[in-house]
Structure 1
Amino acid sequence: MATPGTQGSPAASPTSGRAPVQWAAIAVGAVFLLVGVLGFIPGITTNYDTMTFAGHHSGALLLGVFNVSVLHNIVHLLFGVLGLALSRTFNGARGFLIVSGIIYALLWLYGLVIDHDSAANFVPVNTADDWLHFGLAVGMLALGLILGRTNAPDDKRHV
């Protein structure tokens, strides 16, 4: 029988010690990084030539649907980097998912109350973005709260 920490044992695997909430933060962070990069690729982002740094005048649409700007793409990249960095610890991953979920819930509400054709739409967002933000808020909060209900990544209790 292999001793803990030796090759072939569960303790030696690269995934040992990672809680599901940490894997969720890695996945969410990776998706945000991908979306941030894709927002800068012409073709994947339609009307790329109309992209502005910020503001509601940006006509660029990620996947032809979601309004983006340079600032919007940078925000996605930052969320991605934060997700990956904070996934290193259980509390960091849980905090990332919950706080990001709250931020996206607030962004969803903000998108619902502002005039999308006004200077208040500085990110910018459109109706598709608003509902995506709602879905992200629900998803990240659920992941953070459900997967993060214990701080013991190696918890062996039976439910």
Structure 2
Amino acid sequence: MVKKFALVFGIVYTLVGIMGFIPGLVTAPEMTGDLAADTGHGRLLGIFPVNLWHNLVHLAIGIWGIASYKRFSAAVLYARANTVIFGALVILGLIPATDTLFGLAPIYGNDIWLHLLNTVAAGYFGFGPPARQNTETMNHRPQ
């Protein structure tokens, strides 16, 4: 189950990263001068603020998830790391001084609730029952 999470999460984030580079899917941003890195700045699907760096991070998280699918331990590490990463992004996105990752990537607006949902999902698969499933199965094998 954790491996499937890593694969699905990875595929979704890879696709979202690619979508961020398709001009027809990114609308013009609201007027803002907060981003030092404004290349590709806009709203993906008119909803989520993105820019070049944001898209590259989506691609990296996605590729990492796909690569983590092969091993249970790698998938658990992926889910746990994403719990921490997305949890930090939620907090940073709520603070006006850090809601652009210090000018590098927009993480405000609708990104906050999406990152919160990702934190909860990754936390469940990384720290919840699915993460313990393989360990329990290995400890209860007939000898």
Regarding TM over 0.5, the answer is yes
- Residue 29 (1) aligns with residue 10 (2): yes
Code of the residue aligned with 1:38 in structure 2: it is M
CA distance in structure 2 between the partners assigned to 1:119 and 1:109 by the alignment: 11
- Residue 132 (1) aligns with residue 87 (2): no
Q: Give me the CA root mean square deviation.
A: 2.6
**CA distance 1:99–1:119, shift in 2 (3 Å):** closer
Counterpart residue number, 1:149: 132
Contact 1:55 1:122 in 2 (8 A): yes
Higher helix share: 2
After TM superposition, the score normalised by the length of structure 1 is: 0.73
Give aligned pairs, total. 133
After TM superposition, the score normalised by the length of structure 2 is: 0.81
CA distance in structure 1 between the partners assigned to 2:113 and 2:71 by the alignment: 30
- Percent identity over the alignment is 32
Counterpart residue number, 2:61: 79
Deviation at 1:115, TM superposition (A): 3.3
Mark the runs of 5 or more structure 2 residues left unpaired by the alignment: none
1:87-111 Cα distance to aligned partner (Å, 9 max, x none) = 1100100110111111100011011
Mark the runs of 5 or more structure 1 residues left unpaired by the alignment: 1-19
Alignment of 1:63-102 (within 5 A): 63-102=45-84
CA distance in structure 1 between the partners assigned to 2:86 and 2:101 by the alignment: 20
**CA distance 1:55–1:68, shift in 2 (3 Å):** farther
Structure index of larger Rg: 1
Code of the residue aligned with 1:128 in structure 2: it is N
Counterpart residue number, 1:122: 104
Contact 1:56 1:124 in 2 (8 A): no
Deviation at 1:55, TM superposition (A): 3.8
Contact 2:36 2:104 in 1 (8 A): yes
Q: Secondary structure at the match of 1:84?
A: helix
Selected match of 1:103 from 85, 91, 98: 85
Contact 1:32 1:76 in 2 (8 A): yes
Deviation at 1:57, TM superposition (A): 4.8
Code of the residue aligned with 1:147 in structure 2: it is P
